[in-house]
Amino acid sequence: LTLLEQIFRTSPPSLTPVQEDNVMFCLEHPDYSIQMKTISLLTVIAGPDNVKKIVDALLVYLKKSSNASKAKMADSRTLLASPGQLVKSKMVPNVGGENAQDYIKEIHNVIEKYSEDIDWKTSATLRLIQNSKGKVRTSLVENLKFILSPPTPDRDPATELELNRVRHKINKLLNNLIESGVRNPVILELLVWATAEFNPDYRSACDTILDYTRQFGTDPDFLVHVVNSLLNVRILRGLLTSTAHEFL
């Protein structure tokens, strides 16, 4: 795998679908180092024609690995089996470690480089965000916001129509995640941001954002996003409700 990656970085390959599948199958290999090498190789062989297939496979792998790691970590904690008796834990690969975060940046670069489909690009980036953390996550969130709200007011009608459709889809997806019980801080951040950014009615936007504080509590980090979103409503719509003023 290492040799193939070195060769393909200088001489991009033209693999058949079967050959691509054979590489992706290495993600199922029990050796963690093989899995990481496979991710690196897949980012090298990705191109305009296969980017969706490869990235979707990598996103499924990241999700499965994250879930498996959490489950193993929970099971492997040192527990009191009986008074005075300890159960020793097993070592679990650091799927969520810094190496994984480096690969997440590579996967995102592939998405940005080869995909022109804004619908798929935003959905894939959102899925990638949920498997990221730290500075990598922050960078991906800002990139997603930029895609959904680019600073170009003179877009053609067809582009604006497509962008509005994608915004509506992302907003619906965020709400569905919340309704399913997801309380990921970055999902909550994107939810309040999207409400402020895309709801044209300042009253509705303010009421919805303030309602989120009643639903999701008063965590300081979350309240920072709420305040920023309300200020964004003021900038974009020119007005705030009296309740929003009182909250601020």
Element (H, E) at 241: none
d(CA 199, CA 205): 6
Provide the pLDDT for residue 127: 92
Tens digits of per-residue pLDDT, 168-189?
A: 999 899 999 898 988 889 999 9
What percent of the chain lies above the pLDDT cut of 90? 51
Inter-residue contact 232 to 248 (CB < 8 Å): no
Kindly report the pTM of this predicted structure.
0.80
d(CA 65, CA 104): 13
d(CA 164, CA 190): 16
Average pLDDT of 191-204? 94
Contacts of 185 (CB under 8 A, 6+ apart): 219, 221, 222
Helix axes 202-216, 220-237, angle to 10 degrees: 180
Nearest residue to 68 (alpha-carbon basis) of 80, 78, 56, 76: 76
Q: Looking at the predicted structure, is the pLDDT value of residue 93 above 80?
A: no
Provide the pLDDT for residue 68: 65
